[in-house]
Structure 1
Amino acid sequence: MKFENTGIENLTADLNRLDEIMEDLGLVRAGQWDYERVTYDRKFEIQNDVYYLRIQGYAVEGDVGAHRAVIKLITPLLGKHYYPHGVEYGEGENFPKSLVEQCKKILIDVKAKVEAVNI
């Protein structure tokens, strides 16, 4: 599921500040990066299902590996994990309404915090 028109798309931020913001909101980058892209995930376990809110971005300046980059964010996603195949983001997926609302709240917080560091 894509969260379109959140205001996050096209926001930019310094990688180190972005890491702090995302960590404060429970989103983890961990090993999910290369020299040009980053992925932040927040895991949700509801009953026997696992879901991930995913926020991705790419470097418009600098190098992610050197921790000196400016990251431009793209459209956030919500996916459901299927063992052993991975996470599916398709429009055919059904997501609990409470989870969708919780993710929207997190995205509002991400937008506000990123905008605050860019003032």
Structure 2
Amino acid sequence: MHTFQSSIEGMEFPLILLEDRLKKEGYVIGGNWEYDHGSFDLLLEQQGDYLYLRLPFEAEGGELDKDDSTVRMLQPFLLSHQYDPDRDQDASSGAVSAAFNQFQSPEDQDAPLTPEQIEHGSAALERAEKLLNQVYAD
């Protein structure tokens, strides 16, 4: 895992607005969703390891299942899930279901990151920051 310093950390947004803007950019709601916190995940690579940029958030003054939920962004981070390539070879699945494979747990949930992967994550975070900073200014 690699954490990033980010201009979006601490910003508050209506959750419905974040969902609208980030899903258009390829983010999905992460599997760690709870009533008081969650994350948006962007799958960056899926060759050998699954590389994700995660934008975590927590609820501000309420629960996330309310229509008027507001969230505060937390520190973004990059993580790599490494799956056992020998397991489940006969199954085929699309990119989204493979990214959040319900049938196989990662062999290593915090696989080491290369400098190239960190740079890739940093570039993706810059795009998210630009988008969310623009939304925040509106």
Could you state the TM-score of these two structures normalised by the residue count of structure 1?
0.79
- Higher relative contact order, chain-length normalized (CA < 8 Å, sep 6+): 1
Q: Which has the larger radius of gyration?
A: 2
Cα displacement (A) at 1:88 = 1.5
Which ranges in structure 2 are unaligned for 5 or more consecutive residues?
84-105
Alignment of 1:57-68 (within 5 A): 57-68=57-68
Q: State how far apart, in whole Å, the 1-side matches of 2:131 and 2:48 are.
A: 28
Q: State how far apart, in whole Å, the 2-side matches of 1:56 and 1:33 are.
A: 10
SS in 2 for 1:88: coil
Give CA deviations for 1:26-46 in whole Å, capped at 9, x if unaligned: 111165421111211011225
Which ranges in structure 1 are unaligned for 5 or more consecutive residues?
none
Alignment of 1:40-79 (within 5 A): 40-45=40-45, 47-79=47-79
Structure 1 segments of 4 or more deviating over 3 A? none
Could you state the TM-score of these two structures normalised by the residue count of structure 2?
0.69
SS in 2 for 1:96: helix
